Amino acid sequence: MAKINGAQILLRALKEEGVDTIFGYPGGAVIDIFDVMAREFSDVFKFILVRHEQAAVHAADGYARATGKPGICLVTSGPGGTNTVTGLATAYMDSIPVVVFTGQVPTPLIGNDAFQEADIVGITRPCTKHNYLVSNVEELARTIKEAFIISSTGRPGPVLVDLPKDVVQAKAEFEYPRTVELSTYKPTVKAHIPSIKRAADLIAEAERPVIYAGGGVITAGAHEELRALAEMTGFPVTMTLMGLGCFPGTHPLSLGMLGMHGTYRANMAVNHSDLLLAVGARFDDRVTGRVEGFAPEAKIIHIDIDPTSIQKNIGVEVPIVADARNALGKLIEALKKKGCSKANRDRLKTWHAQLTVWRNEQRLRFDRTSETIKPQYVVEKLYELTAGRAIISTEVGQNQMWAAQYYLFDQPRTLLTSGGLGTMGYGFPAAIGAQVAFPDKLVIDIAGDGSIQMNIQELATVAQYKLPIKIAILNNGYLGMVRQWQERFYDNVYAHTDMMAAPDFVKLAEAYGALGLRATTTAEVEPTIKKALETDGPVVIDFVVEREEGVYPMVPAGASITNMILV
């Protein structure tokens, strides 16, 4: 068998894994890989040249969230690698399968402060699921196989593979393993049947139940099982930010999002529940508020593939370590055997009546008579005019919460947002990843005027690849969420949150070859959105919105989730 170099081995391995798209940025340490890609693999991979390596990882992340397949990123050494850290941390916090390949200086120079050298393995160890420094070309193929297995199984996450230049240039025979055994890595996928039976017993007895669903439902592809369980039992469903879309937002059993900016009825339901079935969620602080006051009367069943997430923040009665799809399927079978579905629905009539009272007491609302644009109205109109069928990415802050509240997601993998890390600048490159994955789908980035400037340079990427992404900027001239906290808790001292010295987004869009539009009154919102949706290419829409509009409900830090500020 003829020997080939490390660059060829890498790209053949990626082909074996079914990779079709790579996001990245070239440089000296990876120049051999880019050369082989251009000469031998131009018809295999679509390479997307971003304008910043952070955006490359976010784009790979968005691709992964939208498709369910690992997103792939290739960058050079030194600053190329260090620029990926925020993207890696974002994917790590949200359990997104991303594989990042970084160039590295030749092996003999490692540790000698060579030009563009950085200990990227050491730097990224806290924010990757695993990482590798490949020291021998003979190990390269197996390492890549391991990276894909680790990234996409169990609780998914980012994996980094560091490639010294001499390893990339060295030669070896190519034999790609069909699978590899990892003795210390064996995720538990199948649910423990006695635990399933205990969970079924609690479900059969519950009078005030709530299903609390997170992003793990989407990762596991368990949305159909979740819906089947909810409809069979009559249990209402509330979702985390990461879980939006795992259960239809328009379904009668949907309570919407819970937590710091969740709906009134979702937070009240969780607080008064006697049973909480948590699926693929990690009880993070934005959901629980004050831990001691979270679901004080509830017995808790927790299904999660990551054993370290169970009992970590909240004590539970029935822990089930398993893939969510497998566990929910087994739970449905157990409940059918008990014949308790009709009895459950009959017993829950009083509970559903109470949920209706809470819904009617405090609905999501804003001033609909204002001539000044309300940001909630923009999101509501986007939902209406897209019939809820767009893939929505968001930046982070008020824009993110308004999107979560007013755009109802009926399908999984249609909301791309940074949950755990809260990364400003995530949404636009994530939209690029989704649009590349699905060129015929409508992709919209709902942004703030602060967040969009974090990766605004990617307008050049959009222009180069003719990606018809629509960017809806809710422009209030502030770092809005920080300003809202300053208003509520810091005596209206708006310390360094004024962003009025901003670019003209319409002219900026035009400079990059995109269409720029602006709306300054409520009456202009709908026709402006329609024009954007009718345009084939990329569009930037500058919605000049009410400057001091807040996101409500709002739970203050350290308070119980029932202690909501409502206006």
pLDDT over 80 at 345, yes or no: no
Contact 252, 297 (CB under 8 A): no
Asked if 3-173 and 375-544 have one fold, the answer is yes
pLDDT tens for each residue of 278-307: 999 999 999 999 999 999 999 999 999 999
| Rounded-to-integer distance, Cα 240 and Cα 305, Å | 17
Q: What is the dihedral of CA 289, 259, 366, 405, to 10 degrees?
A: 160
User: At 417, is the secondary structure helix, strand, or coil?
Assistant: coil
The residue written with tokens 């609390």 in the block is: 212
Report domain extents, the chain: 3-173, 193-361, 375-544
Taking only the tens place, the pLDDT of each residue in 125-179 is 999 999 999 999 999 999 999 999 999 999 999 999 999 999 999 999 999 999 9
Statement: residue 343 has pLDDT above 60: no
Helix (H) or strand (E) holding 269: helix 264-272
How far is the CA of 208 from the CAs of 86, 217, 240, 353, in angstroms? 41, 22, 19, 11
pLDDT at 166: 98
From CA 528, how far away is CA 434, in angstroms rounded?
A: 23
Provide CB contacts within 8 A for 330, sequence distance 6+.
Answer: 191, 193, 196
Contact yes or no for 99/145 (Cβ under 8 A):
no
**Phi/psi of residue 324, nearest 5 degrees:** -60, -40
Q: What is the CATH number of domain 193-361?
A: 3.40.50.1220
| C-alpha–C-alpha distance, residues 406 and 250, integer Å | 11
The share of the chain scoring above pLDDT 90, in percent, equals 97
Q: What is the pLDDT of residues 455-477, one digit of tens each?
A: 999 999 999 999 999 999 999 99
244/283 Cα distance (integer angstroms): 15
CA atoms within 13 A on the CB side of 35: 11
C-alpha angle 235/211/96, rounded to 5°? 140
**pLDDT, mean over the chain:** 96
Residue 485 pLDDT: 96
C-alpha dihedral sign at 347, 350, 353, 355: negative
Half-sphere exposure of 217 (CA within 13 A, CB side): 31
Q: Three-class SS of residue 437?
A: helix
- Provide the pLDDT confidence category of residue 339 given band limits of 50, 70 and 90: confident
Asked if residue 104 lies in contact with residue 120, where contact means CB atoms within 8 angstroms, the answer is yes
What are the structure tokens assigned to 233, written together?
């039992």
Q: Which CATH class is domain 375-544?
A: alpha beta
Structure confidence by residue, pLDDT tens digits, 32-62: 999 999 999 999 999 999 999 999 999 999 9
What's the whole-number mean pLDDT along residues 446-461?
A: 98
Q: Residue 340: is its pLDDT beyond 90?
A: no
Residue 333 three-state SS: helix
**What is the band of 500 on the pLDDT scale with cuts at 50, 70, 90?**
confident
3-state secondary structure of 451: helix
Q: What is the mean pLDDT of residues 403-424?
A: 98
Runs of H (alpha helix) within 465-550:
480-489, 505-511, 522-534
Band of residue 501 on the pLDDT scale cut at 50, 70, 90: confident
Side-chain half-sphere of 216: how many Cα atoms within 13 Å? 27
317 DSSP 8-state letter? S
Closest CA to 58 of 328, 379, 418, 350: 418
Q: Identify the pLDDT of residue 344.
A: 64
Q: Is the pLDDT of residue 346 over 90?
A: no
Question: What architecture is the 3-173 domain classified under in CATH?
Answer: 3-Layer(aba) Sandwich (3.40)
Average pLDDT rounded to a whole number, residues 494-501: 93
- At residue 238, the pLDDT reads 98
Backbone angles phi, psi at 191, to 5 degrees: -75, 145
> Which amino acid is present at 73?
C
How many Å separate Cα 279 from the centre of its chain? 17
State residue 325's pLDDT score. Answer: 98
CA dihedral 323, 324, 327, 330 (to 10 degrees): -120
**Residue 42 phi, psi (nearest 5):** -65, -25
What single-letter amino acid sits at 182? L
Radius of gyration of the chain (CA): 24
CA–CA distance, 20 with 42 (Å, rounded to integer): 11
* 428 torsion bin: left (phi>0), alpha (psi -120 to 50), beta (else): alpha
**Helix orientation angle between 375-386 and 522-534, rounded to the nearest 10 degrees:** 40
Active site residues: 53, 115-116, 165, 481
- Tell me the pLDDT tens digit for each residue of 62-73: 999 999 999 999
d(CA 311, CA 282): 9
Q: What does the pLDDT read at residue 335?
A: 95
Provide the 10 A C-beta neighbour count for residue 245.
21
**What pLDDT is stored for residue 169 in this prediction?**
98
Q: Are the beta carbons of 464 and 435 closer than 8 angstroms?
A: no
Q: Is the pTM of this model over 0.75?
A: yes
CA 142 to chain centre: 29
Helix or strand or coil: residue 90? Answer: helix
Confidence tier at 420 by pLDDT (50, 70, 90): very high
Asked if pLDDT for residue 492 goes beyond 90, the answer is yes
The Cα–Cα gap between 474 and 448 comes to 5
What are the structure tokens assigned to 179, written together?
Answer: 């699978």
Q: For 230-250, what is each residue's pLDDT tens digit?
A: 999 999 999 999 999 999 999
